[in-house]
Amino acid sequence: MYNILPNLAKMIRDYILFDGFTIIILINILLITIAKSLNNSKFNYFLQIYLNNSFIKFNSNENNYLSSFNSLLNTNFIISSSLFISILYFYNTFGNIGFEIFLYLKTLLYFILFIYSKYLLEIVIGWSFKVDKFVTTFNKQRNSFNKLIGIIIILLNSLTIYTFPNSLAFLKISTIIIVILYIIGLYKAVRLNDNLVLPNMFYFILYLCTLEILPILFIINKIV
């Protein structure tokens, strides 16, 4: 009897652990499925943004940041990224992968505050230094890459939880993959805006170092 109770407790704990992860991942998949069903051809074209700049150029000219398609993908990016961050935090704190709903909700809240605080700060910098046109265009294009990264993070989260549980090596590899994809997205967005960057090189470097490079270095320092 005494041997059964610990095993039963472990089974219940594991069930709750994977059930929480599974619910969030299913929400991510549902968001992606709905976005794809809204515009299948656009979604398929969107998946090629790292290989083809046409979608980025087209999408940056549209005033559709709050469209259903973009809103669903942006929501997925926030939810999947928050889950990945909470997994990293839990592992770095306790040495294993675990799920706590309050930790996830806190991470989700902080990530949302970070995203929108950064966005407002970018608007202020753009307005202050009269580079608002560049900031607006750059934001739209970078955001397109973030939306695709959000989809890739779903796969990384699933592999982390179900295929490579408690693997520090895979967590580090996943983090490096996300950072590399983010840097490539920044680079491509910059190249697409050469005509706006060159006349405002000083302000662009200030913007890039303050709002893009420093957060990446901070994350690498804390996680990897």
pLDDT score at 61:
54
**Which secondary-structure segment (H or E) carries 180?**
helix 168-191
Note the pLDDT of residue 89. 87
Q: Kindly report the average pLDDT of the chain as a whole number.
A: 80
Residue corresponding to tokens 């973009």: 70
| pLDDT reported for residue 59 | 62
The residue count of the chain comes to 224
d(CA 105, CA 47): 29
Residue 2 per-residue DSSP state: T
Q: Are 24 and 86 in contact (CB under 8 A)?
A: no
Q: Which one is predicted more confidently, 130 or 86?
A: 86
Per residue in 66-111, pLDDT (tens digit) is 678 889 999 999 999 999 999 988 888 888 887 888 889 999 999 9
- How many angstroms separate the CA atoms of 190 and 193, rounded? 5
- Dist. CA 138–CA 186, nearest whole Å: 9
Structure-model confidence comparison of residues 150 and 118, the more confident one: 150
DSSP 80: H
